[in-house]
Amino acid sequence: MRKALSHPAVQIGAASILGIVFGLVVGEWAGNIKFIGDLFIRLIQMAIVPLVMTSVIVATGSMGGSGMGKMAFHTFKWMIGFSVVAAVVAWILSSVIQPGAGIVFTGGLDPTLADKVGETSGWQETLVGFVSTNIFSAMSLAEMVPIIVFSLLFGVALNAYAATTGNRTIVEFLDQIQQVVIALIRIVMRIAPIGIFCLLAPLAGTVGFGVVTSGLKYLGTTLLGVVIVTVIFVLVVTALTRLNPALLPSKLGGQTLIAITTTSSAVTFPTVLKTAIEKIGVSQRVANFTLSVGLTMGSYGAVLNYMIVVMFLAQTGGVELTFPQIAMGMALAILLNMGTITVPGGFPVVAMFLGTSLGLPLEAVGLLIAVDWFTGIFRTFLNVNGDSFVAMLVSSKMGELDRDVYYGVTTVEADEIDMEAMDAQFAKADAAD
């Protein structure tokens, strides 16, 4: 019992319930403790710029030349394609259901963010704005897109420098800074239950039961999106592989159960690999490559959830997003999924990264964090099974899908995998879940 109570998710869940109840009971007086929640938000925000910069530079600067073969091309094609589908589905559902419409902050945007969503401009000005003339100014204003562009270019240049000279001192130095920033975020997250309580109590005191309604609408939108994207996956797989989709539930049931109970793609990975080879008929070669890449690039549930977060925060602040802003939200959600931008520290950091990048109000972030355990279940379900569907599509295209295995005519046995060698990929996968 004591061990369960010490788990961060349990503590945050308890603090969320207590915060909502407290706010409903005391009403607007709960606004007196809002400053504590604001401090919690700011503590995470202050780490976002150095975290994103070091993550992007280290990831880009450490890339090796792994070549783009036919199998890699088809793997990336399907993963990026379905990530785009997940983002578009999230946008459409959020626009129709309006999960954040129940909480509208009359105060509008944070004054420090107001300039970012002011007048709209043409696409040419938008593209020019991606590049800052002063990176230090962009850092001070938390203008995330110019920061990301600079970090990507810096990482590419650093990669070329390290490859030419063999000197990786800068890469290793920045990697150490990244680890220190991650440690800082872990320290901040120790007070997450207090921060969440002090964010939700004023919210509930002001909005009332609309907090609960909005939380349920947000969860319902995410769940419906997962169902729709899963159906699209199955339809595409059925059309291109000509396999009987009625057999999929029994074949994917084991890995699905592990995924939704652990909310961890890393823990589920051995079962996913074994299932793909022994029950679906994906070749060992395709399964090893596609499913390993899928750990860091195939987080379709995360893309779906991140885009819903963008729309939710915009709706709670009464912000009408322009098409370039919506496109940018989708791009950021997909980049986060692809591992180009690694944002460790869990969902709170991701939510605030997205809100800050698009200049959205962050008052409702506490509510999103409060129900994140449930959305984590939805994300992991789609992340895990989506990778299996992509493996089926790639193996079918490569002529390496054994239909006799799929229909139970023959049996095969998967090779053992080196779990320790995949620690880094497991960590990224769990960050997306």
**CA angle in degrees (0–180, nearest 5) for 153-433-238:** 95
Per-residue pLDDT at 391? 93
Per-residue pLDDT at 107? 42
The pLDDT confidence band at residue 4, using thresholds 50, 70 and 90, is: low
Question: Tens digit of pLDDT for each residue in 175-194?
Answer: 899 888 878 888 888 888 89
The pLDDT confidence band at residue 121, using thresholds 50, 70 and 90, is: very low
CB 20 within 8 A of CB 212: yes
- pLDDT above 50 (res 60): yes
- pLDDT above 90 (res 392): yes
Q: What is the CA radius of gyration of the chain?
A: 22
What separation in angstroms does the CA of 308 have from each of 57, 112, 212, 363, 394? 27, 24, 17, 16, 29
Instruction: Write the DSSP string, 263-291.
Output: --HHHHHHHHHHHIIIII-B-HHHHHHHH
The pLDDT confidence band at residue 85, using thresholds 50, 70 and 90, is: very high
Residue 69's region, left for phi above 0, alpha for psi from -120 to 50, else beta, is beta
- pLDDT above 60 (res 115): no
Enter the tokens of residue 130: 């991606």
3-state SS assignment for residue 140: helix
Task: Tell me which residue of 229, 220, 217 sits closest to 315, measured CA to CA.
Answer: 217
- pLDDT above 50 (res 120): no
CB 116 within 8 A of CB 143: yes
Question: Tens digit of pLDDT for each residue in 16-57?
Answer: 889 888 988 888 898 889 889 888 888 887 887 888 788 778
Enter the tokens of residue 355: 């809100």
Per-residue pLDDT at 117? 41
- pLDDT above 60 (res 239): yes
Output the 3-class SS for 386-413: HHHHHHHHHHHHCCCECHHHHCCCCCCC
Instruction: Write the DSSP string, 355-391.
Output: HHHTT---TTHHHHHHTHHHHHHHHHHHHHHHHHHHH
Determine the Cα–Cα distance for residues 402 and 2; give it in Å rounded to an integer: 49
What domains sit in the chain, N to C, each tagged with a CATH number? 2-432 (1.10.3860)
Torsion of CA 157, 162, 167, 171, to 10 degrees: 70
Enter the tokens of residue 172: 């290793």
Per-residue pLDDT at 112? 42
Q: Which of 105-109, 198-202, 282-286 has the lowest mean pLDDT?
A: 105-109
Q: How many CB atoms lie within 10 A of CB 225?
A: 27
Mean of the pLDDT values across residues 218-224?
94
What separation in angstroms does the CA of 48 have from each of 1, 186, 394, 427? 35, 13, 36, 18
